[in-house]
Amino acid sequence: MAVLLRARELGIVLALGALVAVTAAINPRFLSAQSVRDLALGAAILVVLAVGQTVVVITRNIDLSVGSVLGLSAFATGSLLQAAPGTPVVVALLVGTLVGGLCGLVNGALVRFGNVPALVVTLGTLYVYRGVCFFWAGGQQINADELPPAFLAFGTATVLGVPWLLLIALAVVLVAGYALRNYRSGRELYAMGSHPQAAVLAGVPVGRRLLAAFAVSGALAGLAGVLFAARFGTVDAASGTGDELDVVAAVVVGGVAVFGGSGTVYGAAIGALLLTTIGSALPVLAIDQFWQGAIVGALILAAIGTDRAVAARVAARLRRREAHHG
């Protein structure tokens, strides 16, 4: 119980539970099977993006290009399936992930070898990747009737009532969470975010880990692009526009420190679920959708304020401990 109460994600879980309870009390249909299914499908894509973003933010960096990478990967996958309708769904997933991973490697290489802040690099590649997608699309879009039925069915298919998209998102969260906690490479990402200079002195291969973090973020954005194409069926050059802001919000609200070094993918996933639930609950609560941005902004400010307060308390505790032992 003590461990549970100290968990950074506890507040988000309580907020999510309160939101669901209030909304369901006003409109019981909010918890109908169809509503829950739609909510899960909507959250799955954002969860995958949030996991990739968490891996980068932990290292004290940020990836603003994930929305454009999603759009580019979705259009690449749609174009492949349009040209070769017999392509298996697994191959489509791999192709989209590969396209995203290559974009992520470009981001990581520019940050590492160009010695440019990730904020600036990924803001630039956000527009570059989007421009490539617009040039490739040429003003055209890929419609659902041009995609294989098996691929479209994958976007809504279930296993024991659980959508495939949600199962993939859960698998991504569990694998990433286990790797970050139990593998040396995962712990080194936290070391880089906590104190970059100390990580270098400790022998952490900072350059390789930075490239890997951005590659993972890009690959998961590419995977999210394939899920997007399967979920909605229609893909154009504007797919994923603005998603980078929702992803960063989900990560920050989920308790991942914007200054790096702390946070978990589980919290980011819960933050993504919370933001998706807010978007679905506002119409039920008869609240104007324009308030959604204000609510999310307030949550971000509250999360950052809480994070700084916790960091200050931990620092003070460490100083007292050092003074006591000194």
In a domain, 1, yes or no: no
The per-residue pLDDT for 5 is 43
- Does the structure show a pLDDT above 70 at 312? no
Q: Which residues contact 9 (CB under 8 A, 6 or more apart)?
A: 254, 255, 264, 266, 267, 270
Q: Is the pLDDT of residue 222 over 90?
A: yes
Q: Is residue 59 part of a domain?
A: yes
pLDDT per position as a tens digit, 25-40:
888 888 888 888 888 8
**Do the domain assignments include residue 113?**
yes
Instruction: Determine, yes or no, domain membership for 145.
Output: yes
Is residue 245 included in any domain, yes or no? Answer: yes
| Domain coverage including residue 306 | 8-325
pLDDT at 213: 94
The answer to the question of residue 170 being in a domain is yes
User: Is the confidence at residue 4, as pLDDT, over 50?
Assistant: no
**Whole-number pLDDT of residue 311:** 61
Answer whether residue 218 is part of any domain.
Answer: yes
Q: What's the CATH number where 216 sits?
A: 1.10.3470
The span from the CA of 284 to the CA of 160, in Å, is: 28
Assess contact for 159 and 169: CB atoms under 8 A: no
What are the tens digits of pLDDT across the range 90-135? Answer: 999 999 999 999 999 999 999 999 888 999 999 999 999 999 999 9
pLDDT exceeding 90 applies to what percent of the chain? 41
Confidence label for 41 from pLDDT (cuts 50, 70 and 90):
confident
CA distance 221 to 227: 10
In the predicted structure, residue 3 carries a pLDDT above the cut 60: no
One-letter identity of residue 303: A
Listed ranges 47-56, 83-92, 230-239; the one with the highest mean pLDDT? 47-56
Measured CA distances, 251 to 30, 48, 63, 70 (Å) = 25, 11, 12, 17
Reported pTM: 0.88
Residue 270 belongs to some domain of the structure: yes
Number of structural domains in the chain? 1
